Chain A
Amino acid sequence: MAALLIALKDLRQRLRDRSAYLWGIVAPLGLAAIFSLLFSDLATGAALDVRFAVSDQDRGAAARAFVEEGLLPLDAQGVFAVEEVASAAEARQKATAGDVDAAFVIPEGFSAAAEGNGTSAIEVVANVDSPIAGQVASAVAGQFVGEINAVGTSLGTYFTLVGRAPEPGEAEALVPEAMAVPAPLALAETTANSKELSADTFYSAGMAILFLFLTVQFGVLGLLEERQNGTMGRLLAAPISRRAIVVGKALTSFVLGVVSMAVLVVGTTLLLGASWGNSLGVAILVLAGVIAAMGIMFVVAAVARTPEQADNVQSIIAFVLAMLGGSFFPIAQAGGFIAKLSLMTPHAWFLRGLGDLAAGGGAGAVFPAALYVALFGLVTGGLAMFRVGKVLTP
């Protein structure tokens, strides 16, 4: 009961001086809004819109097959857009100017080379700023010539082993048979449920968890402030247990953390279009996150001498953990040691848990992640309890 009174008084005080609103809601919401406004197109790659031009200077059977069977079906599937242009110069010019990402030029003599007379090459000209699209253009052309070359390899192997040159018409007769041999290797495409957060959700969640570690300090730090202001002595003299004082301060942190996170989840969903996923799952992760933040905060409070010192140390820890945990940028993509380091932070697991929800998981999907986050808080907070008595002195 005494704990409740302490918490209520602290909460009233924090709301009156407005700093809790700023740290808990305004700052994270503002930054999430700025980031998602600026960067969400970038992150989702919505700007990637691949266009190719093709110029057929050969007009033979193989060349037409490349345009009509190689390129147009992929255009129809929406992988990229293809336009046919009259001259090779026009195709190259379009790629140079960036009107298209890459241009194919099929030279004269291509179809003849496909039938074994000489050599030829499809020319791919990519715009310098479209390296991926250029790579794809050359892969598509490569697949097509690969199929023709494969028949060439089959016939070449045949005549090498037979030990003589082909008689007139003999090679042509074998082509359909060589083509009839099915490709021994095929790709089976599947898609996996994405566990990646949408850009809007990522920035909302990243900022929310970063500022959570700063918001919780407004409760636990009260322990040090009471001592500095000389009110700790009076609290200790009052007929309330020492535990009630700690619980009261912890309750303040807990309420501030949970309320600010709840406001952020709802606010970013409505204002920024963030989609956090299954509500129960989010609630579990938020609770775990608040516990983790409080655990660290108690350690800091137990070690620090003054509230200012604790405030400073907590900010350092909050920013470093957030940076390593991938709140600002997806640091796990760096791989190796940094990725492992990242997975030691509660932030990384909080975001992973949300990723599991984004893949359509139910509330249960967050458990491995939420468990780690909560455990992080329980272990750190538990350790702090050994020393918290030190703070409870006048």
Chain B
Amino acid sequence: MIKILTVGWANTLRLFRQRSNIFFVFVFPLLIILLLGVMFGGGFDALVAVSVEGEEGPLAASLVESLDALDDISVERCASVEAATDAVQRRRVTAGVLIPAGFDAGLLGGEAVEVGFLTRPGDQNGMLTLEAVRAVVAAAGTPIRAARFVAAEGVASFEAALPVAQLIASGEPSLTVTYATAGESVFEDFENLGTFDMGAGSQLVLFMFLTSLAGAADLILTRRLGVARRMLSTPTSTGVILMGEAAGRFGVAMVQGVYIMVGTLLIFGVNWGDPLGAAAVVILFALVGSGAAMLSGSIFRNEQQAGGLGVLLGIGLAAIGGAMVPIELFPSTMQTIARFTPHAWAIDAFAELVRRDGGLLDILPQLGVLAAFAAFFLVLATWRLHRVLTH
């Protein structure tokens, strides 16, 4: 038993001897969680680039203000038409609103003024934004139109009529639109989450698996340098060596998992739900990761091969398992395929714990599947390693 732990401990430490691993295990995951939190934590507003040519008069300013006041649209000001166009073209923003030079003067001087609206061709979000902007622009024209009408009827001058029209237009209109939402949201679960909560569970799973696979390189080195054969020459059984190697892989996965969990809890205040349940998920997923690492370490011939495939499998399986985009948004076939990755089950368990306030008992099915994954990988890897190490 002590031998197993010694071999396991030595193998865990080996990962951190390599200083770049310290970066990939301790710095990179938090960096990604931070960036994703900053990018997607703010909600799903449509961004509209607005450029005002020439001097910005009060009428232009009030148009921009009413655009910004719309619920699902936020305005980003651009210095020039070119900058706004470029932002639209590169899809940094959904649409561009171009207010021409002489906007105020034109409106006050009785001209028809055109506001430019810019989208990318075939972009439905752009067309949808157009309808919202059109309503705002029409409303901005209403008092001007009223004042022109009154002036044309000869009742008062345009200048005298405009303040009156503006006052009346700002009053309670006879026709309005009420807006309400209904139904149960598929996404409701996500909306109550903190900025970082949604990403953290997925990233935990992604990085635990990725780091485990990276650790497979050490196992290959053990084989290549004949460390295992030398250990066999000492009074140590194959079983103990295998258990020690597995303990090492498990230690690596646990270090990664516990670090992300505690780190995000302390730095970003991420809610991980029931501690007992969360611990169970991390432990079982660490077993899955160590099984996969043992398997990879027993199959590949050199570290570069294991590394290349490790990155491919580590990121690829995480993507398929819903660690990058929630599984709920996948096409239905892909949702089924996702169920064949351990990631999907672990993320599902976290969702149960965090979003639906579940406890250890609520996630027993998910834990069972993870245990099955772990057992499958470990048995296969042990069988394979046993042959590779002893022959």
Cα A3 to Cα B117 with chains together (Å): 58
Smallest CB separation, A202 vs chain B (Å): 10
Cα A120 to Cα B175 with chains together (Å): 5
Report if B180 contacts A (CB, 8 A): yes
Using a CB-CB cutoff of 8 Å, which residues 176-202 of chain A contact chain B? 177-178, 181-196
Q: Which candidate, B181-189, B269-277, B280-288, B290-298, is the interface stretch facing chain A? A: B181-189
Q: Does A31 lie within 8 Å of B118, measured CB to CB? A: no
Report if B230 contacts A (CB, 8 A): no
Q: Does B309 lie within 8 Å of A191, measured CB to CB? A: no
Q: Does A338 lie within 8 Å of B35, measured CB to CB? A: yes
Chain B contributes a number of interface residues (CB within 8 A of A) equal to 109
Report if B369 contacts A (CB, 8 A): no
Query: Which of A19, A92, A139, A194 lies in contact with B182, CB distance below 8 A?
Result: A92
Across-interface contacts of A195 in B (CB, < 8 A): 86, 89-91
Q: Mark A16-42, 1 if CB is under 8 A from B, else 0.
A: 011100110011001100110111011
Cα A111 to Cα B113 with chains together (Å): 31
Across-interface contacts of A181 in B (CB, < 8 A): 145, 148-149, 152
Across-interface contacts of B186 in A (CB, < 8 A): 129
Q: Does B168 lie within 8 Å of A156, measured CB to CB? A: yes
Q: Mark B74-99, 1 if CB is under 8 A from A, else 0.
A: 00100000000110111110001000
Report if A254 contacts B (CB, 8 A): no
Q: Mark A146-186, 1 if CB is under 8 A from B, else 0.
A: 11111011101110111000000000001001100111111
Contacts A22-B308, A149-B175 given: A154-B150 contact, CB under 8 Å? yes
Across-interface contacts of A141 in B (CB, < 8 A): 177
Q: Does B177 lie within 8 Å of A196, measured CB to CB? A: no
Across-interface contacts of B153 in A (CB, < 8 A): 158, 174, 177
Q: Which residue of A lies closest to B63 (CB)?
A: A185
Across-interface contacts of B177 in A (CB, < 8 A): 121-124, 138, 141-142, 145
Query: Which of B112, B147, B331 lies in contact with A186, CB distance below 8 A?
Result: B112
Q: Does B320 lie within 8 Å of A38, measured CB to CB? A: yes
Tally A-B pairs: CB < 8 A.
337
Report if A313 contacts B (CB, 8 A): yes
Q: Which residue of B lies closest to A126 (CB)?
A: B181
Using a CB-CB cutoff of 8 Å, which residues 288-338 of chain A contact chain B? 308-309, 312-313, 315-316, 319-320, 323, 329-335, 338
Contacts A38-B319, A158-B153 given: A128-B184 contact, CB under 8 Å? yes
Using a CB-CB cutoff of 8 Å, which residues 344-364 of chain A contact chain B? 352, 355, 359
Smallest CB separation, A178 vs chain B (Å): 5
Q: Does B181 lie within 8 Å of A127, measured CB to CB? A: yes
Q: Which residue of A lies closest to B331 (CB)?
A: A41
A-B pairs, top 9 by smallest CB distance, nearest first, are A312-B20, A22-B308, A19-B304, A185-B141, A195-B89, A145-B175, A196-B91, A154-B146, A149-B173
